Amino acid sequence: MVQKKYFEFIELQYDKLTEQINNWLKYKYKKADLQFNSASPYGQIINVEKELFLQNILYLKNTLKVLDVNTTQNKKVIQQTARIAGHSVGRPISATGTLKFKLKAGIDYQKEIKSGIINISNKLALKNKNNDLDYIVNLTQDKNQYSINTPGTEFFIPIIQGKYETQTFTGDGTINQSISVNIPNSSAIENFNYKIIYNSIVLEVKDHLYDMLPKEFACFVKSGFNGGIDIYFGTDNSGFVPQIGSQIIVEYLLSNGSEGEILNPTVNEWKIIDDVTDGQGNIIKIDELFDIFIENDLNFSSDGESIEYTKTMIPYVSRNFVLATPNQFIFHLKRLNIFSKVNAFNMLDDNNFAITDNVLENYVNKIANAVNSNKSNDEILASVANFKTIYSKYKTNSNDNIIYLYLIPDISKFFNDDINYFNINSDVFTLDQQEQQKTLSYLKQIGTLSPTTSIKIIQPKITRYVMHVYVRRFENTNEENIKQQIVSISSDYLLNNNRFDRISKSDFIELFKQIEGIDSVSLYFVSEQNENYQKNQNINQNSLLQTPQKIENGIIKSAYKNSDKLIGLDPVHGDIVINKDEYAIIRGGFRDRKGIWYSENPNENTLNSINITFDGITK
């Protein structure tokens, strides 16, 4: 028997609901309408219950309407829905620009600025007097020095709107730990300028949990619901798990978005908040010594992603593994686990977008003024040299859609009892044509290549070096045993070194100091490139100027002697310096400037890749 259906919940209307309730009561209790009308006690109770039910339905209907991302205007709901879909809402972007500091007329710079040097620290705080907003110096290094050596000297400093803050958290040892960086509702964390530091290690920020390699010091970040950010850590299989009691510092830039743009700049509208020092460490009032102009407009800011844009983005958030950026290529190539070193880059890394057409025009005008004013040849040449320097930086400001892949095979798979890093055939350090083709095929299979991106696998230029090690040992220790450990440790380090810019001398010293029996150790490198250069200098020295001249900061100076020039080596720290297209190896196989041969095999009783000298014994 099919049960009779008395209530239709598809459409809830007041009159129909009243009629359905009365019909159900009459059927259930076999009563007449009179006992359930609004004048009877039962009828009144029914009306109250019916009103409460309708209020609940109305509240539920409004709730569902608010949660419908297609119709709602509730910003928090839209952002929460976007987060569930995998979209991290874009936060404000700060205005950026460049300030020009020009020495005021009549300033005795030799008296006011000791040593003729001004030190500007990164993140130096400034305030604009007109809009009362905070700005900071935005350098690419911790500090810049500027020479003040002529009247009217000028220099340029990039700045960004905002104010840096930090918050500190503690690791709890659980997988997928997350922390929320909450800030006042009136502020927002800038979309790009933040840094997460775990026990003094700056973490790499990835897009997703599964973008992190096993135990990699990385995390991924999503926008919070109040202008802050949420930070997520890994599982050890993907990323790492912060240890109990570990320190997590989050450094971020608070941005005012489009309010930070300065559309009508005036001279000297800036107040320097932090200290600026001269060459002797004395604090100077730079805003009293220099006129401050806005050289490049403070613009290109944003108040963050609009809710309308977020709503349109939600259906298109799926992770489609498009290969377009260098980091995406690096991640997928590392997953292959067949390369010992993987890097990908484009020429955008070398661009200097602070140098604009206006900056170039100013330098051209300086040359024209020098000529028209009948300046000396030296001053004109100085202006031309400065223009060449700035133009060489400017011309790199072009979009480069080529991704350059730098790949070194895993050479350890060729090792055996007789073959190691120091005597393996040098051909294994590069990919042959077939290996390159397989790599390109793999990339096409695992993801969608962006139609605007081209790939070029570069063959790294092999540069050779040898290492001289000087050891003072403790007595009653075996020199041969120490030597073998030095060779073994050096091999492991060179195989696992992931740096692409240099090989640090201090890294080797730190590792060698851990060998039992070593009291003190020092070392230096010899570069094949440098030795070849010096040989050519000796051959051609009669045809070269003994004291060639160069122009620096508008002043003609005597250049270094050619014999003092170093190629491939840091003149201060002694590190091996590597260009983007180079692969440095500690291998002999060359002669130095004096014709002395360095063998490749460190086990031969001759000068070779690693030359170890014991120069003292400590009791």
Give dist(CA 590, CA 469) in Å, integer: 18
The domain ranges of the chain are 14-67, 96-162+259-299, 352-397, 461-619
616 residue type, one letter: G
CA angle 82, 87, 89 (to 5 degrees): 80
**Which of 150-164, 237-251, 307-321 is predicted least confidently?**
307-321
Specify which of 72-81, 271-280, 433-442, 543-552 reaches the highest per-range mean pLDDT: 271-280
Q: Which residue has the tokens 């397989």?
A: 438
Nearby residues of 301 by Cβ (< 8 Å), 6 or more positions away: 92, 93, 94, 95, 96, 161, 255, 257, 258, 260, 261
Between these two residues, 290 and 381, which has the higher pLDDT value?
Answer: 290
Give dist(CA 491, CA 465) in Å, integer: 14
Is 80 exceeded by the pLDDT of residue 558? no
> E strands along 133-269, which residues?
134-137, 143-147, 154-161, 163-170, 178-181, 189-198, 201-202, 204-206, 218-223, 229-232, 247-254
The two tokens of residue 343 are 């890097």
The predicted-structure confidence for 321-338, as pLDDT tens digits, reads as follows 567 778 878 877 886 778
> E strands along 559-604, which residues?
576-577, 582-586, 590-591, 597-598
HSE value, Cβ hemisphere, 13 Å, CA-based, for 276: 24
The predicted-structure confidence for 58-111, as pLDDT tens digits, reads as follows 777 666 666 666 677 777 777 777 777 667 788 888 989 999 999 999 999 899
Nearest to 480 by CA among 515, 507, 450, 456: 515
Nearby residues of 360 by Cβ (< 8 Å), 6 or more positions away: 387, 390, 391, 394
**Confidence (pLDDT) at 560:** 41
**Confidence (pLDDT) at 468:** 94
**Confidence (pLDDT) at 313:** 66
483 residue type, one letter: K
The predicted-structure confidence for 180-191, as pLDDT tens digits, reads as follows 999 987 789 998
- Between the alpha carbon of residue 125 and those of residues 155, 471, 516, the distances in Å are 18, 48, 49
Q: Are 115 and 279 in contact (CB under 8 A)?
A: yes
**Confidence (pLDDT) at 446:** 65
Give dist(CA 27, CA 22) in Å, integer: 9
**Confidence (pLDDT) at 547:** 39
Q: How many residues does the chain have?
A: 619
Q: Are 128 and 158 in contact (CB under 8 A)?
A: no
Give dist(CA 167, CA 148) in Å, integer: 38
Please, what is the average pLDDT of the chain? 82
Q: Are 585 and 528 in contact (CB under 8 A)?
A: no
Is 80 exceeded by the pLDDT of residue 155? yes
CA angle 39, 45, 51 (to 5 degrees): 105
The predicted-structure confidence for 29-63, as pLDDT tens digits, reads as follows 766 655 666 667 777 777 787 778 777 777 776 66
**Confidence (pLDDT) at 543:** 37
Give the mean model confidence (pLDDT) for residues 199-228. Answer: 89
SS3 67: helix
Nearest to 248 by CA among 183, 197, 178: 197
**Confidence (pLDDT) at 351:** 53
**Confidence (pLDDT) at 22:** 72
Is 70 exceeded by the pLDDT of residue 607? yes
**Confidence (pLDDT) at 544:** 36
- Burial of residue 546 (number of CB atoms within 10 Å: 0-12, 13-18, 19+): exposed
Percent of the chain with pLDDT over 90: 41
**Confidence (pLDDT) at 354:** 57
Is 50 exceeded by the pLDDT of residue 421? yes
Is 80 exceeded by the pLDDT of residue 162? yes
**Confidence (pLDDT) at 205:** 92
Between these two residues, 178 and 32, which has the higher pLDDT value?
Answer: 178
The predicted-structure confidence for 207-219, as pLDDT tens digits, reads as follows 888 889 999 999 9
